[in-house]
């Protein structure tokens, strides 16, 4: 299996017809997938680190994220939309921003396919961390804002997430601007505190380090 991290992340066009979700497994990992890592630890992963991989594909109307995460008995106690999922168990997180714009999307998906959906304006995260605003102020309450599905397999779990360009204010007929992204993970396993990892070369264990995210390269042809 490949372990690739670069500053650019190549997004391939979605196959026609697309693969079904049940074809996601560690055996699907190839050169198009980015590996999760703990780059802030200078190449030495902490005890309990489980590998994972993510890829990005695109269609006319959306980005399509897949994540495959190794680990046993993945679980999360969330039972509805927009709970504080990262405090309740295992979760994969997707961050997405139009380059040069201050706002960005944050999505959490649990193994049971419950989501937290956030749209951060400039200064929003700082207001929450400073207890000047509640997280609810930045939640997107519409269940079909994005779509997702998950599966739990032997020794891994996987998530597929479709992020419409429209939530970024883009149209399917327009040019795709520079996009920046990171896919991150809270992996609890049997621990009380999670193991953190990300596809992005983060210089500190903080997923909101926008300058450390990768640039998405939209490819018109599959390689």
Residue 1 has pLDDT above 50, yes or no: no
List C-alpha distances in Å: 140 to 84, 100, 110, 189, 212: 13, 22, 17, 28, 25
Give rounded-to-5 percent helix, strand, coil for the chain. 15, 35, 50
pLDDT tier, 223 (very low <50, low <70, confident <90, very high otherwise):
low
Q: What are 193-204's pLDDT values in tens digits?
A: 999 999 999 999
Q: What are 17-50's pLDDT values in tens digits?
A: 666 656 789 998 998 899 999 999 987 899 999 9
Gap between the Cα atoms of 161 and 147, Å rounded: 6
Task: Please provide the DSSP assignment of 42-74 as one string.
Answer: TT-PPTT---EEEEEEE-SSEEEEEEEEE-SS-
For the chain, list the domains and their CATH numbers. 28-218 (2.60.40.1190)
Q: What pLDDT is attached to residue 4?
A: 43
Enter the pTM of the model: 0.93
Does an H or E element contain 128, and which? Answer: helix 124-129
Gap between the Cα atoms of 32 and 6, Å rounded: 12
- What is the dihedral sign for C-alpha 172, 113, 81, 179? negative
116 contacts 85 by C-beta, under 8 angstroms: yes
Mean pLDDT (the chain, rounded): 91
């Amino acid at each position: 299996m490949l372990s690739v991290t670069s500053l650019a992340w190549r997004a391939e066009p979605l196959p026609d017809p697309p693969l079904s979700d049940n074809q996601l497994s560690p055996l699907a990992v190839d050169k198009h997938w980015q590996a999760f890592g703990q780059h802030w630890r200078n190449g030495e992963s902490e005890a309990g680190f489980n590998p994972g991989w993510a890829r990005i594909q695109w269609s006319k109307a959306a980005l399509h994220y897949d994540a495959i995460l190794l680990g046993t008995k993945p679980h999360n106690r969330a039972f509805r939309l927009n709970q504080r999922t990262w405090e309740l168990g295992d979760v994969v997180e997707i961050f997405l921003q139009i380059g040069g714009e201050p706002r960005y999307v944050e999505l959490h998906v649990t193994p049971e396919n419950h989501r937290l959906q956030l749209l951060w304006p400039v200064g929003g995260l700082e207001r929450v961390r400073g207890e000047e605003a509640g997280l609810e102020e930045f939640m997107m309450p519409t269940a079909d804002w994005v779509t997702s599905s998950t599966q739990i397999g032997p020794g891994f779990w996987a998530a597929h997430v479709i992020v419409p360009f429209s939530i970024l204010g883009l149209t399917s007929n327009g040019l795709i601007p520079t996009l920046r992204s990171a896919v991150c993970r809270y992996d609890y396993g049997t621990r009380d505190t999670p193991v953190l990892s990300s596809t992005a070369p983060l210089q500190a264990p903080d997923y909101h380090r926008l300058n450390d995210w990768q640039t998405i390269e939209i490819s018109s042809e599959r390689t």
